[in-house]
């Protein structure tokens, strides 16, 4: 764990313009800088960097943060890893908490394995390009049979392992690498009979497998022999640095293109990925011949929610594609299918067409997975009623996986039309299976997540305006929590005036909000907003009433989600649009103090009212359960009556009532 003092030094040294300029070409515009967003494809720049605030914000896709979270987002790495990258740029030594002997041993072992794999990748690549055996066998295969250019070969680090049984192993030992790491990475094997070491990948062309940060974690080796006595592919075994279920081949090279184009193309093997890249289509990854896993899907979901699967044109390719698709649907991702002509696989198709032709083919032929699956299975079933019944069951199993109720409804309607079956029958069967396999809790959690995502998207698009003008009894608890935090961050140190007993009284915004929440013992439902509330409260207690809590506590918060939320709040301009309209109509423009005097009490009242409603609903559920004793029912009824009185009082007045 990196200590707080070191983190503070990193943030103090980091120049956000310099760091983002390493990834994006920034152009100065006034006091800020602009560029086309690196996180989504756009032609008109909406990505803004503010050197004075030390933050960036895209007003197109909504992403925002500081220098460290930008590196974290762009490189798809963890927060500590991003801190280390920024620290290295400024020559700051990163001090971490004292580690146990086991921690040190494990980290040293991992670094040794990474170092060895990096050396081995370089060794194989040099052997391919410089050694007579490598050039005559390996380079001939890559360049002539596969048509890979020198640039492509170097980009993916392709190589060759000598047919001599232990050439690589002996070279590694001579270079100072230990036997234990040669064995733990799987580069070397040991004979049980005599203990001799030999190369796992001897006489094979080599494909290094990079993790998301670009480090070599494993290798795939393909034999060029055609006698069928050896396995076509040999892969690195599982190790401390490699799990085949958690890596996607080519993702390191594809992640930027995936973010820019908004979708990922999934193929099967190494050469499929490489040929597509060489053709100019770079948003491509492969499961490397293994069955698709949940971990791989979740890794890809960090970059996009849209996957287009391209399968081989033969029947085996179709069946291989079907496996694992339900898992993608279950993760809430969108899947489309592209079927190639029978004579092609992605590798050969990419080599036979230009990038524009490949993209055009994908755009013109891709179709939604469930529609594709329904049509294909119904063709196979023909008019056989038993087979048609099996198809319907298969389709239901896929639809059940989809967490979004709206998407499920759309797919049910489309499948009912395609399969010529009563839509209500499908609805009932899907509902029954979801009740068995997922339960209401999972559905409720998904709906809550979807609503939170919709609110984030709305805020990113700048659609929320000042609460004093828009808050209503229909506002959700989470939306009101967002508004209360907005008041704290933007105006917590300010005062507004109210009339009490015919006297003008100054009310501090932060004191009014925090006191209400503290006295009512309320915890925010949104975990990010609750973390921001806690941070603000701690600093406010330390600084005192009327002292501004520096926004850097939130912009530079260790939690990237807090940082992003803070930037979202701080970069929203609530009053600009209203000011322009009011000036045009010659309407009085309320001062900030006047708006606070209306907005803050209203936000508190609405929020507390929503909390009371939630408590009433909980008591009513208890009462309706039929599990309470007579005394408990009486107590529950009395509690509901009391809460209703509080709710009615809140609707009439914004005076504080203790809940």
Domain ranges for the chain, please list them. 4-89, 108-242, 370-440, 461-652
pLDDT over 80 (residue 259): no
Quick one: how far is CA 545 from the chain centroid?
A: 39
Residue 538, both tokens: 């701690």
Cα angle, residue 427 at apex, residues 425 and 431 outer, rounded to 5°: 120
Residue 444 pLDDT: 44
- Residue recorded with tokens 């701690």: 538
Residue 103 pLDDT: 65
Is the domain defined by 370-440 classed in CATH 1.10.3470?
A: no
- Residue recorded with tokens 């961050």: 489
* Over residues 633-650, mean pLDDT: 79
SS3 620: helix
| Cα separation, 21 vs 427, whole angstroms | 52
Annotation: CATH topology of 108-242 = DNA primase DNAg catalytic core, N-terminal domain (3.90.980)
* Over residues 605-612, mean pLDDT: 84
* Over residues 287-300, mean pLDDT: 77
What class does CATH assign to 4-89?
Answer: alpha beta
pLDDT cut 90: percent of the chain above it: 26
Confidence of residue 653 (pLDDT cuts 50, 70, 90): low
Cα angle, residue 400 at apex, residues 394 and 403 outer, rounded to 5°: 150
pLDDT digits (tens, 9 = 90+) for 568-600: 888 765 543 333 333 444 444 456 777 888 888
Same fold, 4-89 and 370-440: no
Residue 328 pLDDT: 83
Q: In this structure, are residues 125 and 158 in contact, taking their beta carbons and an 8 Å threshold?
A: yes
pLDDT over 90 (residue 125): yes
pLDDT over 80 (residue 314): no
Cα angle, residue 385 at apex, residues 384 and 391 outer, rounded to 5°: 90
pLDDT over 50 (residue 471): no
Confidence of residue 323 (pLDDT cuts 50, 70, 90): low
Q: In this structure, are residues 59 and 462 in contact, taking their beta carbons and an 8 Å threshold?
A: yes
| Cα separation, 574 vs 210, whole angstroms | 45
Q: Which of 354-363, 498-507, 619-628 has the highest mean pLDDT?
A: 354-363
* Over residues 360-383, mean pLDDT: 83
pLDDT over 70 (residue 172): yes
Q: Which of 119-123, 334-338, 353-357, 443-447 has the lowest mean pLDDT?
A: 443-447
Average pLDDT, the chain: 81
pLDDT over 80 (residue 652): no
pLDDT digits (tens, 9 = 90+) for 64-105: 999 999 998 888 788 888 898 888 888 888 866 665 677 667
């Amino acid at each position: 764990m990196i200590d707080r003092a070191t983190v503070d030094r990193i943030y103090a040294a980091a120049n956000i313009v310099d760091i983002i300029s390493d990834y994006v070409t920034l152009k100065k515009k006034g006091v800020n800088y602009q560029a086309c967003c690196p996180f989504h494809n756009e032609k008109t720049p909406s990505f803004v960097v503010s050197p004075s605030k030390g933050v960036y914000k895209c007003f197109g896709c909504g992403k925002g943060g500081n220098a460290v979270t930008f590196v974290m987002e762009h490189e798809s790495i963890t927060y500590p890893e991003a801190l280390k990258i920024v620290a290295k740029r400024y020559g700051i030594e990163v001090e971490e908490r004292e580690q146990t002997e086991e921690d040190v041993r494990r980290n040293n072992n991992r670094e040794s394995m990474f170092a060895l794999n990096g050396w081995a990748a370089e060794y194989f690549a040099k052997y391919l390009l410089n050694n007579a055996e490598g050039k005559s066998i390996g380079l001939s295969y890559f360049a002539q049979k596969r048509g890979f250019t020198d640039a492509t070969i170097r980009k993916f680090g392709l190589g060759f392992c000598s047919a001599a049984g232990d050439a690589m192993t002996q070279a590694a030992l001579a270079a100072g690498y230990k036997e234990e790491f040669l064995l733990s990475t799987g580069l070397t094997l040991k004979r049980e009979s005599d203990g001799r070491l030999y190369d796992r990948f001897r006489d094979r062309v080599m494909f290094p497998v990079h993790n998301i940060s670009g480090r070599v974690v494993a290798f795939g080796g393909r034999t060029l022999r055609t006698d069928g006595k050896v396995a076509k592919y040999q892969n690195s075994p599982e190790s401390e640095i490699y799990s085949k279920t958690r890596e996607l081949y080519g993702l390191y090279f594809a992640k930027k293109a995936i973010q820019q184009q908004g979708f990922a193309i999934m193929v099967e093997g190494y050469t499929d990925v490489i040929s597509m890249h060489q053709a100019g289509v770079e948003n491509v990854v492969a499961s490397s011949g293994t069955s698709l896993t949940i971990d791989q899907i979740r890794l890809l979901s960090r970059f996009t929610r849209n996957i287009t699967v391209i399968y081989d044109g033969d029947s085996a390719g179709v069946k291989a594609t079907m496996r694992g698709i339900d898992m993608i649907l279950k993760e809430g991702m969108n899947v489309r299918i592209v079927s190639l002509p029978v004579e092609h696989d992605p590798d050969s198709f990419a080599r036979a067409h230009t990038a524009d032709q490949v993209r055009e083919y994908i755009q013109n032929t891709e179709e939604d997975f469930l529609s594709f699956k329904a049509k294909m299975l119904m063709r196979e079933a023909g008019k056989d009623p038993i087979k048609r019944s099996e198809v319907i069951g298969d389709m239901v199993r896929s639809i059940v996986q989809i967490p979004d109720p709206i998407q499920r409804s759309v797919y049910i309607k489309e499948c009912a039309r395609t399969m010529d079956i009563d839509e209500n029958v499908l609805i009932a069967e899907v509902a029954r299976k979801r009740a068995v396999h997922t339960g209401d809790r999972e559905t409720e959690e998904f709906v809550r997540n979807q609503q939170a995502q919709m609110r984030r998207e709305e805020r990113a698009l700048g659609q929320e305006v000042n609460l004093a003008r828009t808050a209503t009894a229909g506002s959700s608890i989470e939306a009101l929590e967002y508004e209360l935090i907005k008041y704290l961050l933007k105006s917590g140190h300010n005062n507004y005036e109210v009339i009490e007993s015919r006297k003008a009284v100054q009310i501090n915004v932060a004191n009014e909000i925090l006191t209400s929440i503290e006295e009512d013992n309320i915890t925010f439902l949104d975990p990010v907003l609750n973390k921001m509330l806690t941070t603000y409260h701690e600093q406010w207690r330390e600084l005192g009433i009327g002292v501004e809590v520096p926004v850097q506590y939130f912009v530079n918060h260790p939690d990237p989600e807090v940082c992003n939320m803070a930037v979202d709040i701080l970069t929203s301009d609530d009053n600009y649009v209203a000011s322009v309209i009011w000036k045009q109509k010659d309407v009085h423009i309320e001062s900030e103090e006047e708006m606070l005097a209306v907005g803050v009490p209203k936000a508190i009242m609405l929020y507390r009212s929503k909390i009371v409603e939630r408590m009433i609903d909980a008591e009513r559920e208890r009462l309706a359960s039929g599990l309470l004793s007579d005394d408990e029912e009486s107590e529950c009824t009395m509690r509901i009556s009391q809460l209703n009185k509080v709710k009615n009082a809140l609707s009439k007045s914004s005076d504080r009532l203790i809940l």
